[in-house]
A and B are shown apart, each in its own frame.
Chain A
Amino acid sequence: MILVLVDHDRGVLDATSVQALTAARALDSDVEVLLVGAAGRDAVAELATYGADTIHLAVHDTLTDYAPLASAKAALELVSSRSPRGIFTTGTPRGNEVLAHIAAILDAPMAAEVLSVTFGDAGVHEVVRNRWGGNLTETARVHNDLLLVAFAPHAIRAENATGAGNVNEFTPNLDAADTAVRVIDRTGGAATGVGLAEARVIVSGGRGVGGPEGFDVIEQLADLLSGAVGCSRVVTSNGWRPHSEQVGQTGTKVAPDLYIACGISGATQHIAGCRTSKTIIAINTDKDAPIMGYAHYAVIGDAQTILPELVAATRAAKE
Chain B
Amino acid sequence: MNIAVCAKRVPLSGGRWELTADNLDIDTSGASVGFTTSPHEECAAEAAVQLVEQLGGSSTVITLGVADSEEQIRSLLAVGVDRGVIIETDGSEWDPQATASALTEQIKAGSPDGAYDLVLLGTEAADTADFQVGIRMAHALGWPVVTNVKGMTIDGGVARCERAVGSAREVYEVTLPAVITVKDGLNIPRYPSVPGRIKARKKPVDTVIIEKPAARLEKVRLDLAVEEARSAEILGTGVDAVPALVEIFKNIGVL
Contacts and interface: CB of A to CB of B under 8 A. Distances in A.
| A and B found bound together | yes
Interface of A: 9, 66, 68, 91, 93, 96-97, 100-101, 103-105, 107-113, 126, 130-144, 150, 180-191, 195, 200-201, 224-227, 233, 236-237, 239, 243-244, 246, 249-251, 257-258, 265-269, 275, 278-279, 281-282, 287, 290-302, 305-306, 309-310, 313-314, 317-318
Interface-centre pick from A93, A143, A191, A195 (highest chain B CB count, 10 A)? A93
A138 B168 contact: no
Given A136-B223, A279-B252, A299-B237, A250 B40 contact: yes
B246 A246 contact: no
Contact of A278 (B13, B148, B220, B252): B252
Nearest to A242: B185
Contacts of A130: 129
A71 to B, nearest CB: 13
Contacts of B100: 104
B35 interface: no
From DSSP, what is the main secondary structure of chain A's interface residues?
A: mixed
Contact of A314 (B15, B173, B183, B255): B255
Nearest to A294: B230
Contacts of B127: 131-132
A313 B246 contact: yes
Given A103-B132, A137-B225, A297-B232, 17 more contacts: A104-B135, A104-B136, A131-B129, A138-B219, A139-B220, A139-B223, A141-B218, A183-B170, A188-B167, A188-B168, A293-B15, A294-B232, A298-B233, A306-B239, A306-B242, A313-B245, A314-B249
A138 B244 CA distance: 41
Interface stretch (B110-118, B137-145, B197-205): B137-145
Contacts of B188: 236-237, 239
Contact of B129 (A112, A295, A297): A112
Q: Give the size category of B's interface with A.
A: 35 or more
Interface string B31-43: 0000000111000
B235 A299 contact: yes
Contacts of B97: 107, 109
Interface stretch (B49-57, B65-73, B158-166): B158-166
A241 to B, nearest CB: 11
Contacts of B183: 250
Nearest to A293: B230
B220 A181 contact: no
A108 B97 CA distance: 8
Interface in B4-60: 13-17, 19, 26, 38-40
B88 interface: no
10 closest cross-chain pairs (CB), A and B: A243-B185, A189-B168, A250-B184, A298-B232, A301-B238, A104-B139, A185-B171, A96-B131, A109-B216, A100-B132
